[in-house]
Each structure stands twice: as C-alpha cells, then as structure tokens.
Structure 1
Amino acid sequence: MKKELATALNTYLANMGVMYIKLHNLHWNVVGSDFKQVHEYLETLYDAMAGVLDEVAELLKMQGEQPLASLKDYLAAASIQELPSAELRSREVLRIVQADLTLLRDQAQQIRADAAADDVYAVVSMMEDHLAQYNKTLWFVEAMQK
C-alpha cells in the first residue's frame, strides 16, 4: 500500500473517530418535538460507526500500516469538527449529521478511486460497502428533514 493511501485511510479513520464522539454528543443533546425518533436514530448511527472504525483500523494493520488510535491523533488529522456540549434542535442535528456523512462519503469515494488505481482491492471492496451505506443513511437523514 502506498503511503498516500495509508495516510488517506488514517484521515478517514480520524474523521470516523471524531464523528463517533460527535454522534454521542448530538444523541445526548438533541431536543425538539421529534426528540425520541432522532435520539434513537443517532444511537443506531454511532453503534454502526463503532464497527466501521474497527474495520478500517484492522485493514490498516493487515496492510502493515499503523492506524491512528488516540483522540489527540484523531483531532489533529480529522476535517470533521467537534461540537461543544449544548442542546440543539433536531433539525440542526440532522443538518450537521448530513454534512458530516456527506464528507465521509466523499472521502470514501476518493479512497476507493485511489485504491483501484493502485490495485488494492481489499480497500476498494471496503469502500464500496461504505459508500452503499452512506448513500442509504444520507437518504434517511434527508427524508427526516422534510
């Protein structure tokens, strides 16, 4: 695996790590008339994110690379930003989730293309699975905002 691809995967891992914590923050701090639905949906998202974090880190290890594994490293590498701990209306929460998932989807698309160019098919396969999940999740999040 080329160093550039490993770096891209670590940045992706960092974004997912920050997103995992951010989803908890949003889950705990969402308010509004549809609180229950959004609160429960956010839990399904961070539960799924935990598995994806592990999957990407293990892929890096299998490729002989060191995955980022600390919050300090995640924050230094991530483009997804933390949020302060504060109540947010459910529509704002969904807008934030949509923006961050779009960033992750776009990042997975680029990683998939780079991995295909380098014939790293384990990464291509994983990113295709991730892209399918991002597209479905974004459809849900967009529908919830209508």
Structure 2
Amino acid sequence: MATTTKTKSKNNSVTDTLNRQVANFSVLHMKLHHFHWYVKGENFFTLHVKFEELYKEAALHLDTIAERMLSQRALPVATLTDVLELTTLKEAKGDEDAQQMVQSLADDFETICNELTEGISLAEENEDQPTADMLVHIRTSLEKHRWMFEAYLGE
C-alpha cells in the first residue's frame, strides 16, 4: 500500500508540473502575440518575425504537453482562470518597449527552463522516460532562445 501511495504522489507531482507548463505556455503564447502585434522601433522587422516564430513554437509545446497529459489520463488546464492561477510567468503589461519585451522573454525562458529541469527529474524518478525526453527537448529549444535574447541584449 505504501508503494502505491508513493507512486501516486509522484504521478501527481509530474501531472502538476506538466499542468504548470500548460499554464506557462498559454501565457507565453499570448504574451508573444502581444509583443508581435505591438513591437515598435528600429528592430521592428527583426523582432516582429522572431516573435511570430516563437508564438508558433510555444503553441506546439503547449499542445505537446497537454496531449502528453491526456495520454496519461490527466487533464490539462483549459480555462484562463486556471491558467492564470497556475502560471509562474507574468502577463505582458502593455507598455513594454522592444528591449523590455526581449528581457521579459529571456526571463520567462529562464523560469521555464528551471521548472523543466525539475520536471525532468520528477519524470525520471517516476520512470516516465517519454515525459522526461519531451521536457528535455523543450528545454533545449528554450535555452537556445534565451541565449539568443541575452546576446541581443548584450549580456
């Protein structure tokens, strides 16, 4: 009985971690759309295209995570109320300049990467290699984007 409880607890923690990422990628997707629509200035053409590329990628990650949850008989969050309750990201304020947009995204990618690292460990502890592999793939992509944004910012 104790083993079953322990396994259920781990399964719940993996599910909770995945749900947090569903929430994060939902917020990130909207934030990237916002930045795509409202970026201005000398880097408009570069950032407008980059933000579009990233919101399309965020949508793919969101769908991949949610479908992984469904395949494991878990239910991903699917309301804005629940998303905003679970996310660890901040919504766009609406008054960001291009530099602030890029910094905000670099920070978001850092946050998500840290959480994905925890999720990878939880999935591995639960012997859930497909989930761990999925999270590694997503983290790898976000680490590259974070690095590129930091280079853009001169960090």
Does TM-score exceed 0.5, indicating one fold?
A: yes
Residue 20 of structure 2: aligned partner: 11
Show structure 1 runs of 5+ residues with no match: none
Tell me by how many angstroms 1:104 deviates.
0.8
Of 6, 11, 16 in structure 2, the residue corresponding to residue 2 of structure 1 is: 11
Hey, what's the Cα distance between the residues in 1 that align with 2:75 and 2:15? 9
Show structure 2 runs of 5+ residues with no match: 1-9
Q: CA RMSD, aligned part only?
A: 1.2
Query: Residue 88 of structure 2: SS of its match in structure 1?
Result: coil
Hey, what's the Cα distance between the residues in 2 that align with 1:138 and 1:80? 15
Tell me by how many angstroms 1:85 deviates.
2.9
2:13–2:122 contact (8 Å) kept in structure 1: no
Hey, what's the Cα distance between the residues in 1 that align with 2:100 and 2:41? 10
- Percent of residue pairs identical: 25
**Larger Rg: 1 or 2?**
2
Residue 111 of structure 1: aligned partner: 119
Q: Which runs of 4+ in 1 moved over 3 A?
A: none
| Aligned positions of 1:38-49 closer than 5 A | 38-49=47-58
Relative to the length of structure 1, the TM-score reads 0.94
Hey, what's the Cα distance between the residues in 2 that align with 1:24 and 1:95? 16
Residue 145 of structure 1: aligned partner: 153
How many aligned residue pairs are there? Answer: 145
Query: Residue 53 of structure 1: SS of its match in structure 2?
Result: helix
Query: Which amino acid counterpart does residue 27 of structure 1 have in structure 2?
Result: H
